[in-house]
Structure 1
Amino acid sequence: MNILKSVTYITLSVSLLFGASQQENKQLQNIVKTGQKSSMLLLKTLGSNMKRNMKTGGPMQALDFCTQKAYTLTEEVNKKLPKGVTVKRISTKYRNPANQPQGSEQEVLVSLEKLQSLHVKLPKQLVQKVDEHTYKYYKPLVINKQVCLKCHGNITNKKLKDAIAKRYPQDKAQHYKMGDLRGAVVVTIKK
């Protein structure tokens, strides 16, 4: 994907704001607000559980949590969201195939990766208009805590490495460094 198309995704919300009617601006503001609230609910839910498991049992217990509970907690968060709103995590380097990007989500992530490789500061959020009634809000996720690298960096703990390989034979979510783009939270909003 060329850089022009990448920039187009990122500037979508800005161009909508400047070239849109007051009603369209309000709709976009509502989409952003819904996206922010929904993504934060998911991140707080998963993050607090991950932190607790890492603190009490280290990386092996955190892996158990991810394997057994992360997807279920995501579904529980979705049940709390307004009708027509769903949230999920995606990554081009996913560990769980359930987090594989679908359709244009892959293109958005690749665009963000390309921008990061060019040392462009990533936006806090993106909004994509999918069709007349559907929008996707993207919150880029960046590795910003050293503890994330215990399971997603260059893993030196053999027991942990073997456990990940056994549970996720096609794991792609390793060898990250601080500041790397890990993926995104995607909130789909159907009006």
Structure 2
Amino acid sequence: MRGLLRLLLFSVLIVGIAGATEYSLKDVEKIGGKIVKEIKKTMKRKLKKAKKSGGLEAMAEYCAENSFKDIEAIGEKYGIDLHVKRISFGNRNPKNAPKKDEEMMLKALDMMAKAGAFMPKTVVQAKEDGSFKLYAPLIMNSRACKKCHGDKAAIDPKIVNYFAKKYPQDRGYGFHSGDLRGAIVVEFPAPEDLE
């Protein structure tokens, strides 16, 4: 019993120390890449499941009600000090609006998408305070996504009404194939924020 107690205390200590990590650029790329991959895989799987169970309405409901929770849970799984979110200029949820420093990165990614340039899987922004933000561009390629984010006139009125009630300031329409829809952002704290 004492051995088990010691093991539990040691585990708690290790988790506490692991939560206070100073991240290198290599760590940011590796951990951030894993998080992004898992988010995309999870959302794709859950949207597919929603489509089977309730069609487009269930898919819209998943995106509005549960995708945010899934994204947060995945981020927490990789580090208690990380913050993970989606951002977009064409956001539905006001929580997905980019911060000032994120606006410049989204504009740069949007210019790349519009120019037909090679779009990197991730881009890392290093801040003066030692923190990092990893951005993973989200490009409109899925027909399923266009059914909620495409031209508003072509979208099922039930879906338009659902989003209008949920998000009165909805700006999530008008996207076409190849457009930058937004980005997944993984924030890594500055070393002094960990003390």
Shorter-chain TM-score above 0.5: yes
Distance 1:39 1:132 in 2: 24
- TM-aligned CA deviation for residue 131 of structure 1: 2.7
Match of 1:3 in 2: none
Match of 1:136 in 2: 133
Distance 1:173 1:62 in 2: 15
Match of 1:70 in 2: 67
Distance 2:48 2:38 in 1: 15
Distance 1:182 1:116 in 2: 10
Distance 2:83 2:44 in 1: 18
Match of 1:175 in 2: 174
> C-alpha root-mean-square deviation of aligned residues, in Å?
1.7
Q: What's the secondary structure of 2:170's corresponding residue?
A: coil
Match of 2:8 in 1: none
Per-residue CA deviation, residues 160-179 of structure 1 (Å, 9 max, x unaligned), is 11112121111111111111
Q: What's the secondary structure of 2:187's corresponding residue?
A: strand
Match of 2:93 in 1: 96
Match of 2:115 among 115, 118, 127: 118
Matches for 1:48-67 after TM superposition, within 5 Å: 48-67=45-64
C-alpha contact 2:114 2:179 (8 A) present in aligned 1: no
- TM-aligned CA deviation for residue 99 of structure 1: 0.8
Distance 1:36 1:65 in 2: 24
- Give the letter for the 1:75 counterpart: E
Match of 1:44 in 2: 41
Distance 1:83 1:133 in 2: 18
Residue 81 in structure 1 maps to residue 78 in structure 2: yes
Match of 1:9 in 2: none
C-alpha contact 1:39 1:87 (8 A) present in aligned 2: no
Residue segments in structure 1 that go unaligned for 5+ positions in a row: 1-25
Match of 2:24 in 1: 27
C-alpha contact 2:87 2:183 (8 A) present in aligned 1: yes
C-alpha contact 1:42 1:87 (8 A) present in aligned 2: no
State the TM-score, normalizing by the size of structure 2.
0.78
State the TM-score, normalizing by the size of structure 1.
0.80
Match of 1:165 in 2: 164
Q: Percent identity?
A: 33
Q: 1:83 to 1:162 in 2, by over 3 A?
A: closer
Q: What's the secondary structure of 1:165's corresponding residue?
A: helix
- Give the letter for the 1:97 counterpart: P
Q: What's the secondary structure of 1:178's corresponding residue?
A: coil
- Give the letter for the 2:131 counterpart: T
Which of the pair has more CA radius of gyration? 2
